[in-house]
Amino acid sequence: MNKNRRIKNILLITIGVLLLIFGIVVGLLAGRMLSEEDVNETGAPEMAVEESGKIKASEPEREIAENGSIKIKETESGTHQSESFESGGTETKAETKSENRLPESTPGLTGAPEDTAAETSASATATTQASISPVRIVLDPGHDDSCSRNHPDLGFNEQDLNLKIAQACRDELETYAGVEVYLTREDGSCPDNGIGSGDVSGRTAYAQSVGADLFVSLHNNATGLGYPSDANGAEVYISVHSAFSDESRKLGEAILKELTSQVDLADRGVLTRVKPEKGCYDNGQVKDWYYLISTSVERGFPGIIVEHAFMDNPHDNAILKDDEQLKAMGIADATGIAAYFGLERISK
Ligand SMILES: [Zn+2]
């Protein structure tokens, strides 16, 4: 019996061991088959992913990191990023520009109450700037009785017309909040004190001394061909300098819109004129023809020239002989300037 039981036990153990071995073998085989199935199902792609994917993914990364060369995905997203960054930067610049130029503009021009958070913070900055420093406008009645060039006598002197227009413009601008107005002269005397006879840059030097945000020289035109000439109407000269040209054009258009609607004057448009003999600005652009404009640019603010009407044109000449019309021109200039800056009238 003992022998039989021992044999039985040995058999059982043997079977157990065999089963164990079988189990292990089956397990191993199953494992291998499963892994082979995985490989087979996705085999080629996975291999490619492993072999080429990782390499591709890491190699360009390194290349970009090390030598900044532009490749594959990183290239695209990098380019897009820099594009959107650039355009964002440009927009920011434009906003900054208009903030600088339009200290009080937010309420009138954009309806600030509905602004987004970002815009609100931007306009808050603008409002803060405006409340700290109002926009400083220097009006320059062109010419004078002594030191600056004058136009031929056509029933009036240009410097007198310009002064009347400038004073009306100042009076009208001072009905608005957030603005300080300066005149380069209050009478016929020469405003170029200490600068030198006939040196018009003395006028922009004065503007710089009061911290001008804008220099507006007020003039009347003449063809130089004598009375009666055909040319008539109002025109505004602005700088070609890229820092000021776009904004100055908007300002010029705003002034001409008022001038040609409030007074019977033709719209000759916003113009530029350069003088290569004067050389270039720091940014390489050829300088503006008029010293009133080029010296404004060099002193860091935009300068424009408003030519209201042609003194030697019969139609315009009649208008210029009417003081009420001169006053209307000054008011029109002020209205255009106020509209551009988004100024609001002082509430009384
Ligand atoms: Zn003039």
| 220 Cα–ligand 1 center, Å | 5
Does residue 87 sit in helix, strand or coil? helix
**pLDDT given at position 129:** 45
**Alpha carbon of 48 to ligand 1 centroid (Å):** 79
- What is this structure's pTM? 0.64
Compute the distance between CA of residue 289 and CA of residue 109 in angstroms, rounded to an integer: 33
Fold that domain 134-341 belongs to in CATH? Aminopeptidase (3.40.630)
The pLDDT tens digits of the residues spanning 111-121 come to 223 333 344 44
pLDDT average per 10 residues of sequence, the chain (348 residues): 63 57 50 36 31 31 31 29 26 30 31 35 44 88 79 80 97 98 92 64 92 97 91 98 98 98 98 97 97 96 98 96 98 98 92
* pLDDT computed for residue 11 by the predictor: 59
- The domain spans of the chain are 134-341
Rounded Cα gap, residues 340 and 254, in angstroms: 6
The 303-310 sheet, strands edge to edge: 179-183, 135-141, 214-221, 303-310, 234-237, 267-271
The per-residue pLDDT for 155 is 81
Q: What is the pLDDT of residue 153?
A: 67
Q: Give SS3 for 264.
A: coil
| pLDDT the model gives residue 226 | 85
Gap from CA of 214 to ligand 1 centroid (Å): 19
Q: What is the pLDDT of residue 19?
A: 59
Res 192: pLDDT: 66
Task: Give residues whose Cβ lies within 5 Å of ion ligand 1.
Answer: 142, 219
